[in-house]
Structure 1
C-alpha cells in the first residue's frame, strides 16, 4: 500500500521569529546582553536630564565677583542672549556642538559655553532663569577668542554629566513669587539714585530717527503689543528655509516691528501682549526699503534683551499700556454683577442726566458706582461700511500669546494669528457714531453695549424681528444703584487682566436677537442704518470706576 504522505508534509512550516532589537535600528530598546543598561545609555546620551550631585562646596557668588582661574563657584542669572548649536552657520567660528549663552544678574554679564548633548533647544529662552555650577572660569579675551562674546569678559565651559564638576539648571515654569524679580535689575541701574535714567536709554522714536547712530550702547524700553504667527522664507545665502516671527512693540512715542529668527522664536511664546516689557541693549535696525515700508528691529550677537526688567520705568510703561488698552480697545466685555439692570431700567429711582451732568458727577466723585438715563440723538451710523470691511462683529482673542482683535461679519470667527475659533463675537460698538444731547457729545465706539441694549436698539422691545416678548428680569444681589464708599466697589483693586477674565455675562436667549443683524443682506442693513440715523433714544447706563466707560444696560424708543 502506497503511503499518502507527501514531501510537503515532511517539511514543517517555520514560524517567523521576532527580529532582535539590534536588527531594528529604530527601536528604542537595546539588547540586554550588550554590556550596558538602559540607565547607563540614557546617562551617556542625555546627561543633562540626569540628577547631578555637586562634589564639594560651591560658593555662591555674584557675576561681578567671578575671577579667572580654578575655583568652585555657583551663581544665578537670566539669559539675555544666546546662540543655539542648531543655528550655528557652517562658516561660523563658533563650535558646532555648543550653545553659547549670555547670562547676567544684577551685577554683571558672563558667557556660558554649554555642550549641547541632552539640552533641549526649547529650554533656552530669553529671560530664562538659570543656575550655573562651575569649577573653572576663563578669560574671554584670550583663552577662548574663537567664542568671543560681547559685553562678557569671562567665559565658563559647562559639560553636563554626573562626573563633571560643572552643571547648569534651567528654572522653567517657576511660580514662586520670590523668583519673579530675581536678577531682574538692569545693568547700570542704581536703586538708590535720585534718577532711574541709565546710560544710552532713549525712547523708541528717538532711536528710530537718529539714536541708533553714534551711541555706543543704545537702549530702548518697549512693551509687546502683539505676536504674529511663525513664517518661513527661503534664504539664498544659506540655501535653506528660515523661520521667523514678527513681534509688534511700542512705547509712549512710537511703535515698530521686532523680528525674531530661528532659535529666538520659542522665547516669545511666554510673552503677554500689553504686559511683557523688553529692555533691549544695542538692537539692530533695518531701514525701510522696497520690500519693507517701515523700519524693523532685530537682535544680533551684540544685543542683550532683559525680559520684564524690574525698575520704575518698566512699571510706568506697563501701566501706560494698560491705560492705552482701555482707551483704544475696540472690544471691551460687558461687566456683570455691578448693577441691577431691572431696577435701573424700570425701578422707582430713575434719574435723567445730561451728558454734562453725568460727567460732572463722575469728576466730583471718581469712586462712585451709579446708574441713570441719557436722552440722546444718534448722529452717525456706519453699519454698511463695517459690513463691507468685514468688521461688523469683533472679539479680543483671549490666547495669552495673541491678544489681537478678531473681526468678522458673523458672531463666530477664527483668529488668523493663533488659529483659535471663537464663538463669542459681539457687535462692533463703532457701528454707532457720536451720540448728542443739548450739552455734549459721546464719541463713537466708547460705549459698552449689553446684549439687551443691542437687541432693543436694533429691534425695539422685540426679542426677534416681528415678535414681541418681555424677557424675565435678571435678579442680582445688588439692591442699590449708588455706592459712596470705595470699599463697596466689587471691582476695586482688580487688575485689568483679572477683570477681563471674569467679566463674562450670562447669555439670555431673548436678548440674542441682535445676532439677526449678522444674517441680513446689504439692502436690509442699509434700511436699518437709515432707520437709526438721527433717531432719539433713551439709554439706561451704568458707571463704575473699574470699567471707566459708560455701559448701556437698555434702550427705550
Structure 2
C-alpha cells in the first residue's frame, strides 16, 4: 500500500481562475448577461432615463428605485417553473416601468426604495398578464412600458439589487415631476392636514410628504366569510406618518413591506406618497392605505424633503427622548465637590447654551419644585418609563422577568418618569422637568430611595412624599453636553441618525458616544437639599 498517496480536496468543480473571473465580472459596472440560450453574446444598450424606454425586442439596461411592491403566490401559465412573482413599479425622475419578476422558491429581498439594475431583452406596451388581468404595479398613467422577467431561468434577463453606499445613495432619488432649479421642487404637494380635510377627494395626482414617526407591532386579524366562518388570518401593522400640520395612521396589510418597515425604524424616513387612498375604518377611525394607483418615493431628493427632515429632527429633540441614560463620567468630577463649584441662574444656563451650543459645562442651579404628580402617575401605572422603537412604555414596578418590547422583542430597561414633576423655577426663569435628562443618582438624591423602591410606597406613601416635595427648594447639579455639528445631505442625515441610535459607536469613539445621546440637553446629575 502506497502511504504517500494524497487525496484531492473536495471542491465545487470550478478552478481558481474561473472563480476570480466571475467575481471580477460582478464587480464591474459594465457587467451584463454574457450569452443567450444559443451561446451568442448579447449586447445591452444602457438607457440613462426610464422615459427613453420604448417597447420592442431590444436588449436594454436601466436603473430605478422601487416605488410600488406587491408579492403574489401561485402557479403561472406563462412560466411553468415559477412559484410566484414580485410585481414592482420601478422609477426615476423621468418615468416609471412596471416589472413582474417571477421566482422559483422564495421572493426576492426587494424593499420600497431599493435601487435595482435591470437587464432585459424585451419590453411591452401592454400591462396584461398571462391571465388577462392587469399587472398591479402602479398607476397606468405613469407607467410607460412593462416587462415580464424570470431571472435564473431566462438567460437574457437579470436583476441586481444594488447595495446602498456613498456612490449609490443619491442615484434615482429625484421624484418624478420635480421642477425648478435642478429639478428639486414639487408641484401639487399638499400638507397632511389639507389632504385629510378633503384633498384626497377628486384631486388627481395628490401628493403628501411625510415622516415615519413610529411603527406598531404586527397584529393578526382573523378573516371570515359571509356566514361568519373563519377562513384564515392576515397580518396588519400600523405606521404613524407625520408632518408639521398633523398625523395619520397608515395601515399595511400583509407581509410584503415588513423588510421595508424594519429599515425605516427610528430614522424619521421621509416618504413622498402619490395618490394615497383615504379610508374610514371601524368606529369612524380615519387612516391611509395604498391603492392600485399609489406609489411611494423613499427619501426623495428635493428641497421640501430636506426641510421636513430638519423639522422632524427638531421635533425629536423637543420631545426630550426621556429614556436616555446619563453617565456621570462624561462630566468633570470636580464639578460636584470641587473647591469653587459654579452656581448658575436658569437665565445664565439659557444664555450659555444659546451662545455656545457646542461647549460642555457643569454647575449648580437652585430651583423650587412647583408641581409634583406622584399620586397621579401611580394610579395610572406610569411611575416608570422607557422608550423603544419610538414607542413609550410605562409600568409601576419592573418585574423580576424583564418586559419585552412588542416590536423588537428586546428587554426593556425602565427609569422614573420625568412627568412625575412639573415646573422648576428660580428668580430668573423656569423649566419643565420633562425637558431634562435625569441621572439615577439625581432621582435617588431627590426621592431619598432607589428608583425601584418608589412603587413600594403605595398611594398613601406617594401622597406623603408628594406633599413634602411640593414647594421645596433644592440645589441640582446639572451639566450641558454640546450639540454635534450637523452634516448636510441625505448621507449626512442617515449617518447622524444611525449614530444617535447606536450611541455614536460608528468609529469606536469611546466617551464620545454619550455626547451623541444627550447632546443639546440639560442633564440633572445629582441634588443637594
TM-score bracket relative to the smaller structure: 0.7 to 0.9
Is the aligned partner of 1:260 residue 2:246?
A: no
Partner of 1:20: none
- Structure 2 partner of 1:434: 423
Aligned-pair CA distance for 1:332: 4.5
Question: For 2:164 and 2:185, how far apart are their aligned partners in 1?
Answer: 30
1:330, CA displacement in angstroms? 5.0
Does the aligned pair in 2 maintain the 1:223–1:274 contact within 8 Å? no
Which residue matches 2:496?
Answer: none
Partner residue of 2:34 out of 45, 50, 54: 54
1:553 aligns with one of 507, 510, 525 = 525
User: CA contact under 8 A between 1:75 and 1:131: conserved in structure 2?
Assistant: yes
- Alignment length (residue pairs): 443
Higher-Rg member (1/2): 1
Partner of 1:23: none
CA gap of 1:345–1:293, structure 2 versus 1, over 3 A, is: farther
CA deviation after TM superposition for structure 1 residue 219, in Å: 0.8
Change over 3 Å in CA distance of 1:395–1:350 after alignment to 2: same
Deviations 1:221-263 (A, max 9, x none): 1111111122222334694322211111101110110011112
TM-score w.r.t. length of structure 2: 0.77
Deviation at 1:339, TM superposition (A): 5.2
Q: 1:389 — aligned with what?
A: 380
Q: 1:435 to 1:423 in 2, by over 3 A?
A: same
The residue correspondences of 1:71-82 to structure 2 (distance < 5 A) are 71-82=58-69
RMSD of aligned residue pairs (Cα, Å): 3.0
Cross-structure match for 1:225: 213
d(CA) in 2 for partners of 1:332, 1:229: 20
- The structure 2 residue matched to 1:130, chosen from 96, 116, 120, is 116
| Paired residues for 1:133-212 under 5 Å | 133-140=119-126, 146-147=133-134, 150=140, 151-171=142-162, 174-190=163-179, 192-193=181-182, 196-212=184-200
Q: Of 250, 273, 276, which residue of structure 1 is paired with 2:269? A: 276
Moved more, 416-425 or 298-307: 416-425
Asked if the contact 2:93/2:172 (under 8 Å) is kept, the reply is: yes
Q: Provide closer, same or farther for how the CA distance between residues 403 and 87 of structure 1 changes in structure 2, counting only shifts above 3 A.
A: farther
Query: Which residue of 495, 520, 527 corresponds with 2:464?
Result: 527
Partner of 2:394: 407
Alignment TM-score, normalising by the size of structure 1 = 0.73
- Worse-matched range after superposition: 547-556 or 276-285: 547-556
State the match for 2:497 in structure 1: none
Contact 1:406–1:415 (8 Å) recurs in 2: no
1:214 aligns with 2:207: no
Once residues 209 and 366 of structure 1 are traced to their aligned partners in structure 2, the CA distance between those partners, rounded to angstroms, is 40
Match of 1:453 among 428, 442, 445: 442
Q: CA 1:347 to 1:87, structure 2 compared with 1: closer, same or farther past 3 Å?
A: farther
Secondary structure of 1:376 counterpart: strand
Q: Show the counterpart of 1:248.
A: 240
Q: 1:72 to 1:192 in 2, by over 3 A?
A: same
Q: Which residue of 1 aligns with 2:57?
A: 70
1:285 matches 2:278: yes
The equivalent of 1:34 in structure 2 is: none
1:383-435: CA deviation from partner (whole Å, max 9, x where unpaired): 121122121111221xxxx2312222234652453263435311111112211
User: How far apart are 1:552 and its partner, in Å?
Assistant: 1.2
Structure 2 residue runs of 5 or longer lacking an equivalent are: 1-25, 27-31, 36-41, 76-81, 484-518
1:304 aligned partner: 295
The 1:382–1:142 alpha-carbon spacing in structure 2 relative to 1, beyond 3 Å, is closer
- In 2, Cα distance between equivalents of 1:129 and 1:419: 26
Pick closer, same or farther for the CA change 1:414–1:514 going to 2, 3 Å.
Answer: closer
Structure 2 CA distance, aligned partners of 1:177 and 1:406?
Answer: 36
* Rounded Cα–Cα distance in structure 2 between residues aligned with 1:178 and 1:292: 48
Partner in structure 2 of residue 92 of structure 1 = none
User: Structure 2 CA distance, aligned partners of 1:254 and 1:292?
Assistant: 20
Instruction: Select between 315-324 and 220-229 the one with higher mean Cα deviation.
Output: 315-324
Residue pairs, 1:325-404, within 5 angstroms: 325-336=316-327, 340-397=331-388, 402-404=389-391
The CA deviation at 1:377 is: 1.1
Deviation at 1:57, TM superposition (A): 1.9
